[in-house]
Amino acid sequence: MIRRLSILFAAPIILVLCLLMEQAFAADAAMSAEETDPINAGQMMPEGNLYNPDGSAVSVSDLYSEKPVVLVYYRGDWCRYCNQHLRNLKNIEDELVDLGYQLIAVSADKPEILSRTKQEAELPYRLVSDSRMDMANKLGIAFKVSDETIEKYKGYKIDLEEASG
């Protein structure tokens, strides 16, 4: 059980550091993945807003005031690997709740895309948007996507700017 929980709590950190790395459009994002400087375990979560599917703002401190949060960043609805991971997180959500946590997934998608993601994947947990990458920047995990990567994604009919607004 302890080993399983260790893996469980390591997964969101890995996601925060890996899955989001392809998306950042804000001015103060790192110039590359190698230049990111994420906050460390034990540091205070920076204050800021995330956005519900209806576009209403929710402050990070309000999310954490309800109960401790396992916060997972994912690239977006366009990423099939992220969608599979979100579905897999359903398997551990009850366990997290039993331990007193809430699971919240954050995407760079526009808020209105979140409802579709939640419905299609039948997700029981909350999805919020960081489409402006404000929180990702404050967390030190955002970086600029290279022009080469943007062009490659366009070849797959993935428009990162359109998805995030």
Confidence of residue 165 (pLDDT cuts 50, 70, 90): low
Helix (H, G, I), strand (E, B) or coil at 58: strand
pLDDT digits (tens, 9 = 90+) for 105-144: 999 999 999 999 999 999 999 999 999 999 999 999 998 8
Distance of alpha carbon 75 from alpha carbon 25, whole angstroms: 13
- The model's pTM is 0.78
Looking at beta carbons, which pairs linking 41-44 to residues 24 or more positions away fall under 8 Å?
A: 41/13
Tokens 């991971």 correspond to 85
Q: How many CB atoms lie within 10 A of CB 114?
A: 26
CA proximity to 47, closest of 61, 67, 37:
61
Determine the pLDDT at residue 89: 97
Choosing among 3.90.330.10, 3.60.20.10, 3.40.30.10, 1.10.1030.10, the CATH entry for 2-159 is 3.40.30.10
Q: Where are the domains of the chain?
A: 2-159
Distance of alpha carbon 118 from alpha carbon 147, whole angstroms: 30
Amino acid 165 reads: G
CA proximity to 106, closest of 131, 137, 88:
131
